[in-house]
Amino acid sequence: MPALFGDPAALLGAVVLKLPALLVAVTVHEVAHGLVADRLGDPTARLRGRLTLNPVPHIDPLGALTFVVAGFGWAKPVPVDVGNLRHPVRDMAWVAAAGPASNFAVAFLGLLAFAVARRTAGVPLVSGLLAGVFLWVYRFNLALAIFNLIPLPPLDGGHFLPYVLPRRAGPLLRELERYGPLLLVVILLSGAAGFVLDPVIRWVSGIYVAVVKILV
């Protein structure tokens, strides 16, 4: 909040770098869900115009406002009708996995693009502005992928649980669906998410950086 009123120029610079990266991350994530659902028998996302890389249909106004004010945001979830899936439990797990998988892939491409852009020192627009955007594409996509693997509804990790847990865990799953969002808020506000996820992000990032150094 202080940045919002204390230094408008710094805020504008951050938005210029981060907003395109955020839009890339959430758009790719939601489109991946919709594409896999469509391939597995549910055309809901396609029929509602959500299988597009145009970020506008995916923007959530509150999520966008939260991004400007607090530095993080979210998109509209792609609608999935589980009843249309040929194998609902298994296919929903594939649909859920598609989002983080797409973000891991785009994160790698973002880091690779950043490394290439930084080498073009003679073109300030590329080595400066575009490199900054690519860096945030990498950071947002990696963080979004790992964050969504938390096994709590409504995150993608929560959709894996019915597939990996035995049927007798049904009551537990129903309780998680009921209280999962509240638990997620508590985890975020308490800082527990960062305590657990930051080491994972650093570990995965180390692998990505090592591979990119070999390629570039």
The residues assigned a catalytic role are 30
| 157 and 148 Cβ atoms separated by less than 8 Å | yes
d(CA 36, CA 78): 11
Residue type at 64 in one-letter notation = A
Q: How far is CA 65 from CA 18, 145, 197, in A?
A: 13, 22, 25
Contacts of 200-208 with C-beta under 8 Å, sequence gap 24+, read 200/146, 201/142, 201/143, 201/146, 204/142, 204/146, 205/142, 208/107, 208/108, 208/111, 208/138, 208/142
| End-to-end Cα, the chain, rounded Å | 39
d(CA 177, CA 183): 10
Residue type at 88 in one-letter notation = P
The vertex-101 CA angle with 98 and 106, nearest 5°, equals 120
Task: For residue 102, give the nearest of 145, 48, 69, 143 by alpha carbon.
Answer: 145
d(CA 84, CA 124): 50
